[in-house]
A = this chain, B = another copy of it.
């Protein structure tokens, strides 16, 4: 996917057998491994003897948590951390997580990955009763609901269970009270969440790569609708909503997750490679090399190459040092093609017929530039293959596309798109092929509503944004 469609976040949590464990280091490292899920802001909250200390700010983990900031956090019994996505607009410091609050029953810290579709309605309902909001996050809405439910419930577990009945949409939550750490995943299981362990600690993370990097062993995924509670004496599971339809966001496999992660039992790398193989069968073409758009097109390109027997090659180098002002600074050179993070490897593409694999197309502007760059570097033909079906519908669960009008597929045929991006040929993965793959992978229920318009749960006609823009007059 060349354009950003990232409404992602990453969560990480840890509970220790010891009451004064140096957990901030582990959370820091875990968040670094999840950084691809969100570069805007990050934060860590530590629970020491029931009191919660935290630090959060705009910026990458490496910037917000230099050594002396990690050491300024106390040792404790448990802790949670978060990385947040970067929108195109201005970043809001206030929206950084964990959200740490005080309510009638004590302290609470929450981190959240996902997107509620009834956040606006819940907020309207809460506001009707006098609730005030300091952020524009769904997380704050969730905190309010948990607190409301906690007032009526006997335990935090019961409160979270009742909260889940009121939330609609995608959410993977870590909830830290004075004495407990809870992990909860929405009934559809839209967003990933897994549990790991080391000798002394129980760990939760959005992706298994964060377990690997912190030396934790993957135990299992949190199940859709499941609440896992960790206290000193036990790990307790409550399974809710068993009968609700399931639907892990297919884009986790296609784009969001790191290839080395395993989600709900399926390797992300293998999924992508399988898609590539499938594309090779479905949409073969004579060519000299197969190349992927870094980084999310690489695994599928590998699969395409293996299946087709055409050589896999690198067509680009992707800079990993591109700063916030890069694009803008590069544009000062007044050259349309300049400013991409990708630079073609001329020797690899010159005079070649190239099968170019990208994970998806959103607006089409970036892939158009990429193809132009390849042609300028001498590519003879560029055959674009997309490692997912055509993206045709808005999504409120996982991507940031709230209107199909913004999609390149809107009112365009495949050939229109091909012309627009100036490819010699263009093929998307068949939706049936995708279903085949998921079947082979034993992924019973993926949400692929963005390709089909059919979602595991009903989506309202209009979804209002949870922002501060309305004005009292």
Q: What residues make up the interface of A, taking CB atoms closer than 8 Å to B? A: 22, 25-26, 28-29, 32-33, 35-36, 49-52, 60-63, 65-68, 70, 99-108, 124, 127-134, 136, 143-144, 147-148, 151, 177-179, 198, 209, 212-215, 258-260, 262, 267, 269-270, 298-299, 302, 305-306, 311-314, 316-317, 319-326, 328-330, 332-335, 337-338, 343-348, 468-473
| Residues of chain B contacted by A104 (CB below 8 angstroms) | 124, 127-128, 130
**Once the chains bind, are A209 and B317 in contact (CB under 8 Å)?**
yes
Contact A470 B313 (CB under 8 A): no
Q: Please state if B131 and A346 are interface contacts (CB–CB under 8 Å).
A: no
Knowing A312-B312, A347-B267, the reply to whether A32 touches B106 (Cβ < 8 A) is no
B215 and A335 contacting across the interface, CB-CB below 8 Å: yes
Contact A100 B209 (CB under 8 A): no
Judge whether B320 and A320 touch: CB under 8 Å.
yes
Residues of B within 8 A of A36 (CB): 321
Give the complex CA separation of A468 and B103 in angstroms: 9
CB distance from A387 to the nearest CB of B (A): 15
**Inter-chain contact B178/A317, CB cutoff 8 Å:** no
Which chain B residues lie closer than 8 Å to A105 at the CB level? 472
Closest to A337 in B: B215
Contact B214 A29 (CB under 8 A): no
What B residues does A102 contact at CB under 8 A? 132-134, 136, 468
| A29 contacts B313, C-beta separation under 8 Å | no
Contact check, A213 vs B323: say whether CB atoms are below 8 A apart: no
Chain B residues lying within 8 Å of A260, measured Cβ to Cβ, are 316-317, 343-346
A298 to B316, alpha carbons, bound, how many Å? 13
Identity of the chain B residue whose Cβ is nearest the Cβ of A311 in the assembled complex? B306
B62:A323 contact, CB within 8 angstroms: yes
Contacts of A335 in B (CB 8 A): 215
Q: Within the assembled complex, what's the spacing in Å between the Cα atoms of A328 and B312?
A: 36
**Which of A49, A104, A314 has the most CB atoms of chain B within a 10 A radius of its CB?**
A104
Q: Chain B's nearest CB lies how many Å from the CB of A12?
A: 13
Q: Measured between C-beta atoms, what is the minimum distance from A250 to chain B in Å? A: 18
Identify the 3 closest CB pairs spanning chains A and B, nearest first.
A62-B323, A106-B472, A215-B335
Identity of the chain B residue whose Cβ is nearest the Cβ of A262 in the assembled complex: B346
Give Cα A345 to B329, complex, Å. Answer: 36
Residues of chain B lying within 8 A (CB to CB) of residue A302: 312-314
Does the CB pair A338–B215 fall under 8 Å?
yes
State how many angstroms separate the Cβ of A464 from the closest Cβ of chain B. Answer: 13
List chain B residues, Cβ under 8 A from A178. 471-473
Contacts A198-B333, A472-B178 given; does A314 touch B344 at CB 8 Å: no
- Say yes or no: A213 contacts B324, CB within 8 Å: no
In the complex the two chains form, is B29's CB within 8 Å of A267's CB? no
Residues of B within 8 A of A198 (CB): 333
Question: In the docked arrangement, what's the CA distance between A305 and B319, Å?
Answer: 25
A-B contact sample (14 more), CB < 8 A, given A103-B132, A267-B347, A312-B312: A51-B468, A52-B468, A60-B321, A60-B323, A61-B321, A67-B328, A178-B472, A213-B319, A213-B343, A214-B338, A260-B343, A267-B346, A269-B348, A305-B311
18 of the cross-chain contacts (CB-CB < 8 Å) are A28-B325, A28-B329, A29-B330, A50-B473, A51-B471, A102-B134, A104-B127, A104-B130, A130-B148, A132-B143, A178-B473, A179-B473, A198-B333, A212-B343, A215-B330, A258-B317, A298-B314, A299-B314
